[in-house]
Amino acid sequence: MSKLAVITGGTKGIGKAIIEKFAAQKFDIVTCSRNTAALTALKDYLQSTYSIKAYVFTADMSVRSQVRSFTDFVTDLGLPIEVLVNNAGFFTPGNIMEEKEGVLESMIESNVYSAYYTTRGLAASMKLRKAGHIFNMCSIASLKAYPNGGSYAISKFAMLGFSKVLREELMHDNIRVTAVLPGATRTSSWDGVELPDERFMKPEDVADAVFGAFSLSPRSVVEEIVIRPQLGDI
């Protein structure tokens, strides 16, 4: 039976780089996004480039009912999930005392609740198989508050806490849990910033780190991956 990797928010940036890394290793892929056209293009690209099967689903992962629809879609495929990457989310800069009303709620819904409910929907089958690896996309902002981080940093602190709890709960089911904490990575979130690309990490570097952690024997787990630009945080 084919190996299956589920990556949320996979049409661009780090999510897309992780998808390509696993697809190159002949994993079949499941991903989701709000952009149907981008999903269709990604599906065609993956299947023609890597000769694997790609399954896509249009969903806004900040909406609980749509997360449930996505996890039902994945479950109905009837395929064993080897890898789950909770990557969906977004960044809006701001300060707690000045950001618009509702920013905290939208960040928590997109960056934390999406991972929480996706995991609840899919990890049960991993527990039955006593196998699987869950990666949660956190951030350097999970470790250190910084100016203009605002509610994003709050959500990423929460995401790291979620990962730590999940690690404790699932270790005896032989399910590995890894928190991924990237620094500034050259994705669309940084569009418009007047800094040279050399100051940013490449999304492919994060993908390589994720796959490296996955590639360890089942006897070991990388609990946290902290990866920063060589010249330091931006």
Q: What is the full per-residue pLDDT of the chain (234 aa) written as tens digits?
A: 689 999 999 999 999 999 999 999 999 999 999 999 999 999 999 999 999 999 999 999 999 999 999 999 999 999 999 999 999 999 888 999 999 999 999 999 999 999 999 999 999 999 999 999 999 999 999 999 888 899 999 999 999 999 999 999 999 999 999 999 998 888 776 666 778 888 899 999 999 999 999 999 999 999 999 999 999 888
pLDDT at res. 125: 96
Domain carrying residue 63: 4-227
Domain-located, residue 232: no
Domain-located, residue 234: no
pLDDT at res. 23: 98
pTM summary value? 0.95
Radius of gyration for the alpha carbons in the chain, expressed in angstroms and rounded: 17
Q: Pairing relation of β-strands 176-182 and 28-33?
A: unpaired
Max Cα–Cα distance, the chain, nearest Å? 52
Whether the Cβ atoms of residue 106 and residue 27 lie closer than 8 Å to each other? no
Let me know how long the chain is. Answer: 234
According to DSSP, residue 201 is labeled B
Domain-located, residue 130: yes
Q: Which residues contact 127 (CB under 8 A, 6 or more apart)?
A: 170, 173, 175
pLDDT at res. 184: 86
Q: Identify the CATH number of the domain in which residue 174 sits.
A: 3.40.50.720
Domain-located, residue 9: yes
Domain-located, residue 179: yes
Task: Using the Cα atoms of residue 78, residue 84, residue 86 and residue 87 in order, give the sign of their dihedral.
Answer: negative
Phi, psi of 82 (to 5 degrees): -90, -35
pLDDT at res. 32: 98
- How many domains does the chain fold into? 1
Domain-located, residue 199: yes
Can you tell me which residue has the tokens 């995991």? 119
